[in-house]
Chains A and B, each alone.
Chain A
Amino acid sequence: MDADFEHELWSQTPDAILTISPAGLVLHWNSAAERLFGYAAAEAIGQRLTELIVPPDGLVAELRIQVDAAAQNQAAYECVRRRKDGSLLHINVSSKGICQADGTLRYVLSTNRDVTHLKVLRDAKMVEAKFRDLLESTPDAIVMVNVTGRIVLVNTQAERVFGYPRSAMLGAPVEMLLPVRFRGTHNAHRANFFAQPRTRTMGAGLELHGLRSNGEEFPVEISLSPLLTDEGTMVMSAIRNITDRKKAEQKFRGLLESAPDAMVIVAQDGRIALVNSQTERLFGYRREELLGQSVEMLVPERFRSRHSVHRDGFFSRPRPRSMGAEMELYACRKDASEFPVEISLSPLETEDGTLVMSAIRDITNRRKAEQKFKDLLEAAPDAMVIVNAGGDIVLINTQTERLFGYPRQELLGRPLETLVPERYRAKHPHHRASFFLQPRARSMGAGLELYGLRRDGTEFPVEISLSPLETENGLFVSSAIRDATERKRYEQVLQDANRLKSEFLANMSHELRTPLNGIIGFSEFLIDEKPGAINAKQKEYLGDILTSGKHLLQLINDVLDLSKVEAGKMELFPEEFTVAEAVAEVYSVVSSMAMKKRIVVRHNIATAIDQVLLDRQKFIQVLYNLLSNAVKFTNDGGRVFVDIELRDQGEHHEQQLRLLVRDTGIGIRTEDLGKLFVEFQQLDSSTARRYQGTGLGLALTKKIIEFQGGEIAVTSEFGSGSTFEVLLPLATNSTTRIDATPDHA
């Protein structure tokens, strides 16, 4: 054998042949070794063999084999080797120690043959025998891989999912089923798995993809289980095509995103499974910070322990409902700030079990509006009670608590009739219903005496005004209730005082009249010279006494009448009388003064007027006051006119008596017209001196007219005269009333 041939053998042998120094360094590295392990001879020679091609997890085993081999001088075994590219190979190794003459080791000669494929076949045979039936019965694609990453077994589902025939997959690196971009990292992950083999989901939280034979990618979910066999550890991966689920998820997520509320989907154990971007915005967390975390992170600290109890309660009877109905709920942001929320819950049945979907709405603004409304209620001086259409109290203010003596919680939700005295209760719901039919702001039971009922059973008079309150939850009634006790008491005091005043005035007028009786009577008696003759001067002075006395009497009578009107003690005594006769009676009294001043008094009574039904005495009093005023304030030689006629008035043509008294007198300044009908106001001091009067005449006249439902007006031109117009409604007897309103008959 020549050296060239030996060299050719060395380089052409299909087995990798290498020699290692006693220190473990590579001495020789033939071409087959270069091909098998991927290292050129130049790269390998001088390197430590164990560092070069022994996988880290196989080092201990390798060292043991080498120790054995050294002891026996020769060894054959199978082991895993790592190529330069990181992939693993099954290698059949034969090695022999070559010694020097003195018996010391010169080098180790090692022949390495790739048996990876043989091993796969062995493994496949083994696992197929053991697991095939089982694997075919699972719905998932199953791909079993041995320690070198070669596929040793696939089931029919795997063929279908990946689109390869079984033969194309067996023995191939499992990375063929992965998109190219993931292959590099996959090697490393696989090695890690073999280092710590346990059942687990692959790439938790990551999106995994498979690669079909036609180059299509598809989303997968993979779970891994180690399988310890005589042939070493295998990995069984169950692969599920989740394309459909991903699509559904995508749709669902789109749906979640389109919801206006923050949507948080929570599993039974309280972990957040899904959130939408509204949730990120509302709570200030990023999605990754929320997923997989306990939902209680969104609940303020003080509610957390109770929340998990409620959550369990929900899952025990899952149905759509709003959370914590009637309760104020709060949520907690990442920055620990709290905000009021409204939450509705619905169960969500999924293949992973029942989840709860919660829609969370920030109601800060609504709360603010509500608060504003409440503040407004509190600011009201009255007790405010807001009632729904069912008559239940939904809101009250502090004034209500104080006025009725109930704490707020006792009233809310109770019927409004709680605050109404027993004897009015039966009718109250009816009144309430009619208010809801015609809701408008108004005072309640106008003209009626209303009472409230306190908690202690006492009653008190109230004034109530009602207003409708339109809200998004329907129509409510807001009632403002005011304690009328004080007003009532005040009114009573006023009434009493007024009555006392009237009584006092009546008594005073009686007491004042009695001595006047003597003054007027005896003066008159003397003027008539009944006891004997008197001279002219004496007669004149006695006349002055008599006039003063009569004036004083008139004053007293007017005061008495005014007080009667004010005390409501004036009475009407309508009677049939002839207008012309009454006018003549007044005329006869006034005529002497008129004649003295050479004033012509003319009257014109419409022919239609004969008998009228009126209070005769008051008619005479009014006419007398106006006529005597006219004569009094008209200069000598002037004229006074009286016109009386009938008028129809109003829808029912009520009859009115119209009385006009015109004069050509001194007139009244425009600015003085307002003072005309005020008690004790004569227009200026100069007129007061010239025209003696009580200052009560027109005030009393106006009151008497208004007391009868009539009215008085005046027009005047200063310097040329005044016109007083009086309208008096004529009293009607019952027969005329029925005739006038036939629709009531």
Chain B
Amino acid sequence: MPELILIVDDNPTNLKLASEVLEFEGFKVLRAVDAEGAQLLLAQSTPDLILLDIALPGMDGLTLTRKLKSNSQFRHVPIIALTAFAMKGDDQRAFAAGCDGYITKPIDTRELPRRVRNLLQAATHKEETRLTPE
């Protein structure tokens, strides 16, 4: 059963690139162009990981992150922040909002699948630890 990845990016080209790179790697991808669209999709299914652009029209990515991390249904879903601002403070803000990872655009098509996979593994491990108390 392929993992389900939700990708949120307002730029259609970038959304397409990230989605197709991951689809070629065998993931199942849900696409949204803004936070509002993402929330509609999340109402129907819970993804295994979310790739979230920070700078979105309307509700921004960090607000959505905080919202999801305070929801028990999504709290365990890893979120990777995507941003064009390669500034040191951005990753700290992203982590502070609850993001689990941070990728600077433009995305490295070779690096992206590896990062996604790593985070999924870490999350599964955490999940297992959580489900099987010592």
Contacts and interface: CB of A to CB of B under 8 A. Distances in A.
Interface residues of B, number: 20
A525 B88 contact: no
A517 B14 CA distance: 6
Contacts of B122: none
A521 B17 contact: yes
Nearest to A530: B24
A526 B43 CA distance: 35
A557 B109 contact: no
Interface of chain A, main secondary structure: helix
B34 to A, nearest CB: 15
Contacts of B108: 524
Nearest to A526: B109
A617 B109 contact: no
A481 to B, nearest CB: 43
Contact of A521 (B84, B86, B106): B106
A510 B107 contact: no
Nearest to A515: B13
A530 B105 CA distance: 20
A335 interface: no
A519 B28 CA distance: 24
A232 interface: no
A651 interface: no
A522 interface: yes
A583 B24 CA distance: 35
B109 A528 contact: yes
A510 B85 contact: yes
B89 A525 contact: no
Interface in A552-602: 553, 557, 560, 571, 573
B24 A514 contact: no
A661 to B, nearest CB: 24
Contacts of B14: 514, 517-518, 521
A515 B14 CA distance: 8
A574 to B, nearest CB: 11
B60 interface: no
B21 interface: yes
B41 to A, nearest CB: 22
A70 interface: no
Contacts of A560: 86
Nearest to B55: A510
Contact of B17 (A510, A522, A553): A522
Contacts of B24: 530-531
A223 B30 CA distance: 140
A617 B87 CA distance: 10
A262 interface: no
A525 B13 CA distance: 13
A617 B88 contact: yes
A516 interface: yes
Nearest to B111: A524
B21 A571 contact: no
Nearest to B92: A573
B45 interface: no
A573 B88 contact: yes
Given A518-B17, A530-B21, A525 B85 contact: no
Interface in A198-231: none
B20 interface: yes
A522 to B, nearest CB: 6
B21 A517 contact: no
Interface string B84-111: 1110110000000000000001111110
Contacts of A524: 108-110
A520 to B, nearest CB: 5
Nearest to B10: A514
Contacts, number: 59
Contacts of B86: 557, 560
Contacts of A514: 11, 14, 84, 105
B105 to A, nearest CB: 5
A573 B108 CA distance: 25
A271 interface: no
A514 B10 CA distance: 10
Nearest to A573: B88
B58 to A, nearest CB: 17
A617 B108 CA distance: 19
B118 to A, nearest CB: 19
Interface string A506-542: 1001100111111111101100101100000000000
Interface string B13-43: 1100110110010000000000000000000
A528 B88 CA distance: 30
Contact of B20 (A506, A513, A525, A571): A525
A565 to B, nearest CB: 13
Given A514-B11, A514-B14, A530-B21, A521 B107 contact: yes
Interface string A472-514: 0000000000000000000000000000000000100110011
B11 A525 contact: no
Contacts of B105: 513-514, 517
A521 B109 contact: yes
Contacts of B106: 513, 516-521, 549, 553
Contacts of A520: 106
A517 B13 contact: yes
Nearest to B24: A530
Contact of B11 (A517, A519, A573): A517
A276 B3 CA distance: 122
A389 B86 CA distance: 59
Contacts of A517: 11, 13-14, 17, 84, 105-107
A530 B21 CA distance: 8
A571 B92 CA distance: 13
A516 B14 CA distance: 9
Contacts of B21: 521, 525, 530
Nearest to A615: B88
Contacts of B110: 524, 528
A525 B55 contact: no
Contact of A571 (B13, B17, B88, B107): B88
A206 B14 CA distance: 126
B101 to A, nearest CB: 17
A441 B123 CA distance: 69
Contacts of B85: 506, 510
Contacts of A518: 11, 13-14, 17, 106
Considering the complex of A and B, which 8 residue pairs feature the smallest CB-CB distances, nearest first? A517-B106, A518-B13, A521-B17, A524-B109, A513-B84, A520-B106, A510-B84, A530-B24
11 contacts: A509-B84, A510-B55, A510-B85, A514-B11, A517-B13, A518-B17, A519-B106, A521-B14, A531-B20, A560-B86, A571-B88
Interface of B: 11, 13-14, 17-18, 20-21, 24, 55, 84-86, 88-89, 105-110
Given A521-B21, A524-B109, 18 more contacts: A514-B11, A514-B14, A514-B105, A517-B13, A517-B84, A517-B106, A518-B11, A518-B13, A519-B106, A521-B14, A521-B17, A521-B18, A521-B109, A528-B109, A530-B24, A531-B20, A557-B86, A617-B88
